[in-house]
Structures are given as C-alpha cells and as structure tokens.
Amino acid sequence: MDTSSQHRPGERTEPTAGKGAERGLLAWLVARGLIPETAPKRAFAVATFISLIGKGLFMAGAALFFTRSVGLPVAQVGFALGAAALIGLGAGIPVGHLADRYGPREVFRLTLVVQAVSVAGLLLVRSFPSLVACLCVTELAVSAGTAARGPLNRALGAPNPTRYRSYLRALNNIAAGCGALAAGVVIQLDTRAAYMGLMLGIAVLFLVSAAACSRVPSVPPVEVPAGGSSWPVLKDKPYVVLTVLDGIMAIQNQVLVFALPLWITERVDAPRWFVGASVAVNAALVVCLQVRVSRGIVDNMSAGRTMRRAGAVLLLATALLAVAGGAPGWVAMVVVVLGVVSLTVGELFYAAASFELSYGLAPEHAQGQYSGLFAIGQGLSNAIGPPVLGLLCLGWGEPGWLVVGVLFLVAGQFVPLVVKWSDRTRTHSPG
C-alpha cells in the first residue's frame, strides 16, 4: 500500500497551514476592530464600501461632467442637483415601509440597481429636462437605499448596531477619500472620454455592490403586532421632534465642507493649503475614533447625554473658529487646528448618538419607515446648512459663528428631554 500520500501524526499539510494562517490573520483583524466579527457583517460592509466609493466619485465629479462634458450651464446644473436632492427625500418613508414588509436586503439591492441604471442614463443626457429627470430618479434611489439600509444595519449589527454603524461610517470616510482621489484623476484629464468613463465606472460600482449583497443574509420582516399601526412614524410626535433636532445638529456637517474653507481663505490669516490640512485632520480622527466613541453608548438615555455633550463641544468649536478670524499668523493656524479637532469630537459624539437614537426610538416592525423620516431631517439640513452658515458665519462674521454654536448647544440640550418624552408616552412601542 502506498503511504506516500498519507499524513503522519502531527503533520500538517500546506493548505491546512495556510487556512490556519488565514484564520489567525482574520482573528487579529477582528480583535483590533479593523473588520467586523461575523461574515454577514463583513459582507454588508464590503457591499456598502463599494457603493460608497461610487457615491464619492459621483459627488466629486458629477457637476463637472455636466458642465465640462455635456456642456450645460452651471446655474442649470446647480438647480437640477438641488431640486433632485429635495425631491429624492420623498422616497424615504414609503420605500422604508416596503423594506419593513418585504425585507430590507431585497429592497436595498433593488435601489442599487436603479442607481446603476439611472447613472448610466446620465451618459445620454443632452438637455436640462433630461438632466432633471435622470437626477431625480438617482436621488429617489439614494434616499430609498438609505431607508432600506437602516433595518439592515440594526439586524446585522445586533447586539450593538450603533457600534457597527460607527464602523460603517469610518468606512464611509475612507471610501469618500478613495472616490475623491479617483475623480481627481478624471478632472485632471478633463476630456469627454474620461468623464464618460467616470460615470460608467460609477454605474458599474453600484452593480457590483448589488451583487455583493447576495452574500448578505436576508432579514425577515417583523410582523406588525396586534393592534399596532402599519404606518406609525408620522404619529410618533417625539420621533418627529427628534428628527428636527437631529437635522439642526447635522448642520455641523456643512461647517467643514462649506463654511470653514471660505472662512480660512477670506477671513483667517493662514495659507490656503490649510483648508486641505483641516479636512485631512478631520478625516483621520473620524476613521480612528468613531468606533471607539460609540462604545459608551448602550441605550437611548446614554445616547441623549452624548448628544448633549456634542452640542457643548460644537459650541466650543465654533467659538475657536470665530477667534481664529481675528488672530495673527501662526496663532490663527493653531486656533483653527484646535477648532477642527473640537468640531470633529462634536461630530463623533453627534454621529454615535444619532445612530443609537434613530434605531432605539423606533419600533422593530417599522425600522424602514423611521429610517426614511430620519433621513429627511438630515437631507434637509444638507439643503439649508450652506445658506444658514453663509448668512451667519460668513456674512456676520465672529458673532455669527457664536450664534451657530448656541444653536447646536440648545438643540443638544433638548434631545435627552425628547428621549424621556418618548419613553414616557411609549409611542414607539408596539400597540
């Protein structure tokens, strides 16, 4: 009998050793929080990361595609982008309801396919009406995907969906950076072929993301409890108020991308490259600290207290940025860095608390509906944030920064009260 292929006791074949090394590497990555601990979480993270790269590419290059390649006027492109974003918000609640009833994974995959088709359709745009039509479909799919993703985040992220959502947010920053760098190459080439390739690549990424979702387990819908409402979201007054307060707090997202760059270049005694450095500091801190910050949030009340801290820290940040406007040279640069660090800490507190409250105050059978409503508040903040910050911070100057900071402080102080109101009235409970 030929024993050459048999293994002696204690021997390990090379494939077994290789698998052991892979398991060891996987355990090491999980232990350090670099990847999620379960296969479904990892699969959804991969699908999300791919779609976020596509989103980053679109945000960085779409406007230039419409103006430089298609040849549409800047004013028309700006109006179409803004109008489509506002119209898209209307898809959140109804599509969220579909996700609650038919399963969020299936609805989420469908929204990715629709995004792919609509972005590919932008290659055929030649006029303003066709631009508006394609962008509206795209934004409706984006909003719908956000609503469907909420129940998936909660189900896959159990027992701590906030921590898992924080991990995905860190991925979001990495993906946005990758998308911006890739779009930068296209912008540098500045040819029609490059812009066409960019849009086609975005469509392909959305399709790949939809395919990657096949490895994400289906989440069965939660039955509406006896006596419960199928459409409870708009009757839940505490949650509606929370959505408004969260939308106010979410304006801080526009400080870094809109108000601060203009403030530094126009009113602060600092070099223009400091704008990029500020963004880099923020991105690095979010990637490194978002998951860590979420560990202290274990329930609705701890999330409410964290939102209160976020408001206070954001006030400190706006005060520092206001001071930077009147400081000389290197002092202004130091104050700006301190302001950006404070702004990022406030952003981390806000994001972690917002994740927990958006899930925790919503009934299990209506997570999609509630995610859709919550996304409306954040979407509106993106729409009104730039004009508000432009009027107060850039138009009024230092006092305007303080007014914005006080707005964040007051909104944050009210959130724990809304949490207690919600717990007291039990409007988020089945039945």
Q: Which two tokens stand for residue 306?
A: 């964290």
* pLDDT in the model for residue 228: 64
> Could you give the dihedral angle defined by the CA atoms of residues 181, 170, 122 and 258, in that order, rounded to the nearest 10 degrees?
-70
For residue 190, count other CB atoms closer than 10 A to its CB: 11
* pLDDT in the model for residue 21: 62
Q: What would the pLDDT profile of 294-351 be if each residue is shown by its tens digit?
A: 888 888 999 999 999 999 999 999 999 999 988 888 899 999 999 999 999 999 999 9
Residue 429 is given by DSSP the state S
> pLDDT grade, residue 431 (50/70/90)?
very low
* pLDDT in the model for residue 180: 77
AA identity, residue 395: G
- Could you tell me if 384 and 257 are in contact, meaning their C-beta atoms sit under 8 angstroms apart? no
> Residue length, the chain?
431
AA identity, residue 373: L
* pLDDT in the model for residue 288: 86
* pLDDT in the model for residue 150: 82
The whole-angstrom separation of Cα 366 and Cα 235 is 12
* pLDDT in the model for residue 90: 82
Cβ contacts of 25 within 8 Å, gap of 6 or more: none
The whole-angstrom separation of Cα 270 and Cα 42 is 42
* pLDDT in the model for residue 1: 43
Window from 4-13, 51-60, 346-355 with minimum mean pLDDT? 4-13
* pLDDT in the model for residue 124: 92
Q: What would the pLDDT profile of 201-227 be if each residue is shown by its tens digit?
A: 999 999 999 999 989 998 887 777 766
> pLDDT grade, residue 426 (50/70/90)?
low
Q: Among 384, 399, 387, which residue's Cα sits nearest to residue 267?
A: 399
19 or 166, which is more confident?
Answer: 166
Q: Among 278, 309, 317, which residue's Cα sits nearest to residue 404?
A: 317
Q: Which two tokens stand for residue 255?
A: 């400080």
Domains of the chain, CATH where assigned: 38-215 (1.20.1250.20), 233-425 (1.20.1250.20)
Q: What would the pLDDT profile of 75-129 be if each residue is shown by its tens digit?
A: 888 888 888 888 888 888 888 888 888 888 999 999 999 999 999 999 999 899 9
The H-or-E segment that residue 337 falls in is helix 329-360
How many angstroms separate the first and last alpha carbons of the chain?
A: 72
Q: Among 175, 193, 213, 189, which residue's Cα sits nearest to residue 57?
A: 175
Q: Cα angle vertex 190, ends 188, 195, to 5°?
A: 110
- pLDDT of 9 above 70: no
- pLDDT of 428 above 70: no
328 or 24, which is more confident?
Answer: 328
On the CB side of 135, CA atoms within 13 Å amount to 25
* pLDDT in the model for residue 283: 84
Residue 13 is given by DSSP the state -
The whole-angstrom separation of Cα 192 and Cα 194 is 5
Q: Among 79, 68, 165, which residue's Cα sits nearest to residue 359?
A: 165
Q: Which two tokens stand for residue 429?
A: 């409970």
Residue 269 is given by DSSP the state S
AA identity, residue 178: C
The whole-angstrom separation of Cα 335 and Cα 401 is 14
The H-or-E segment that residue 176 falls in is helix 161-189
- Could you tell me if 63 and 185 are in contact, meaning their C-beta atoms sit under 8 angstroms apart? no
Q: Which two tokens stand for residue 78?
A: 């700006």
